Amino acid sequence: MTAEIIDGKGFADGLTARVATQVAALKARDGITPGLAVVLVGADPASQVYVRIKSKQATGAGMVTHDHKLPATASKADVLTLVDRLNRDEKVDGILVQFPLPAQIDMREVIERIDPGKDVDGFHPMNAGLLRTGGTGLVPCTPLGCLMLLRHFHKDLAGAEAVVLGRSTIVGRPMAALLLGADCTVTIAHSKTRDLPAVIRRADIVVAAVGRPEMVRGAWIKPGATVIDVGINRVPATEPGKTKLVGDVCFAEAVETAGRITPVPGGVGPMTVACLLQNTLSAACRRRGLTVPGAS
């Protein structure tokens, strides 16, 4: 048996196109252009690539982006002052601070300073709390994208056994909350979990967000399960001096057992960016008490 490959890139392109249509309708109906502020501190090469992609996609969807670059030597006060300014700026609907931050800046303090209504990453404790208590806040982009893929490709989530591997506040925990909200029976596995292969073998749905290249083996996957691989790991390629991206799941093995699986790259990654655009549009509307035009 060979799994269906979930086309995250194609699905994300569709979502981005729908957001662009809604942005155009918001402009026409209410004269509002959603604004996304992207803050980069330092010059981490991967972060530079990520912020470039996010800004480009937001602009492509008809939004206005406000790029702010601070040096790696920036102080905590510099970053918090910028966040305060963006919180007050009426043209800014979404604030994205790219992580990781330099060691001298406390990520938690920065997250907590962002206006929850502009927190398009969904990391603020108020949004995290709303997600856990069944409210409607802004939801972290990566798990939101995973849930959209699962709703579309796995379809019937109610009662499904879901195992989320990883318990970070960015991916694992919000993912588990979303799956619970979708009526799955949810297990969160982590570094202290006993007999991980047996836990994962129970799952109809596996979401792997562990940050360890190809850790989840094909033999751990229940035949026919849906596998969502969040991992992005850069490893040496077979050609000398070259690298390649792999997920947290051994794709070559899992594809033989799973019912459907996301590839890396081209699976979850593009959904994260598309969901950022969706969150920025939602934030622009909610802040003004408007509905998203054309949203079903």
Catalytic positions are 54, 98, 121
| Closest alpha carbon to 173 in 188, 192, 158 | 188
- How buried is residue 1: exposed, middle or buried, by Cβ count under 10 Å (0-12/13-18/19+)? exposed
The residue within the footprint of ligand NDP, chosen from 36, 105, 210, 275 (CB under 6 A), is: 210
Number of chain positions touching ligand NDP (CB under 6 A): 25
Query: In angstroms, rounded to a whole number, what is the distance separating the alpha carbons of residues 292 and 253?
Result: 42
Paired residues of 260 in beta bridges: 4, 226
Element (H or E) spanning 142, and its range?
helix 141-153
> Residue 272 Cβ, how far from ligand NDP at the closest point, in Å?
3
The residue within the footprint of ligand NDP, chosen from 69, 190, 234, 288 (CB under 6 A), is: 190
Q: Indicate whether 130 belongs to the interface with ligand NDP (CB under 6 A).
A: no
Asked if residue 35 lies in contact with residue 64, where contact means CB atoms within 8 angstroms, the answer is yes
The residue within the footprint of ligand NDP, chosen from 268, 275, 277, 283 (CB under 6 A), is: 268
| 243-246 vs 233-236, strand pairing mode | antiparallel
| Closest alpha carbon to 80 in 41, 53, 44 | 41
Q: Indicate whether 192 belongs to the interface with ligand NDP (CB under 6 A).
A: yes
Report, in angstroms and rounded to the nearest whole number, the Rg of the chain calculated over CA atoms: 19
The residue within the footprint of ligand NDP, chosen from 104, 191, 243, 291 (CB under 6 A), is: 191
Q: Indicate whether 139 belongs to the interface with ligand NDP (CB under 6 A).
A: no
Task: Determine the length of the chain.
Answer: 296
The residue within the footprint of ligand NDP, chosen from 211, 218, 266, 293 (CB under 6 A), is: 211
Q: Quick one: 65 or 272, whose CB is closer to ligand NDP?
A: 272
Q: Indicate whether 35 belongs to the interface with ligand NDP (CB under 6 A).
A: no
The residue within the footprint of ligand NDP, chosen from 143, 269, 274, 277 (CB under 6 A), is: 269
Q: Indicate whether 261 belongs to the interface with ligand NDP (CB under 6 A).
A: no
Q: Indicate whether 38 belongs to the interface with ligand NDP (CB under 6 A).
A: no
Q: Indicate whether 282 belongs to the interface with ligand NDP (CB under 6 A).
A: no
Asked if residue 70 lies in contact with residue 39, where contact means CB atoms within 8 angstroms, the answer is yes
- Applying CB under 6 A, the span of 108-116, 219-227, 228-236, 282-290 interacting with ligand NDP comes to 228-236
Cα angle vertex 275, ends 2, 115, to 5°?
150
Q: Quick one: 38 or 285, whose CB is closer to ligand NDP?
A: 38
What is the helix, strand, coil percentage profile of the chain, to 5?
Answer: 45, 15, 40
Of 143-182, binders to ligand NDP (CB under 6 A) are 165-168, 170-172
Which residues lie near ligand NDP (CB under 6 A)?
Answer: 142, 165-168, 170-172, 190-193, 196, 209-212, 230-233, 248, 268-269, 272
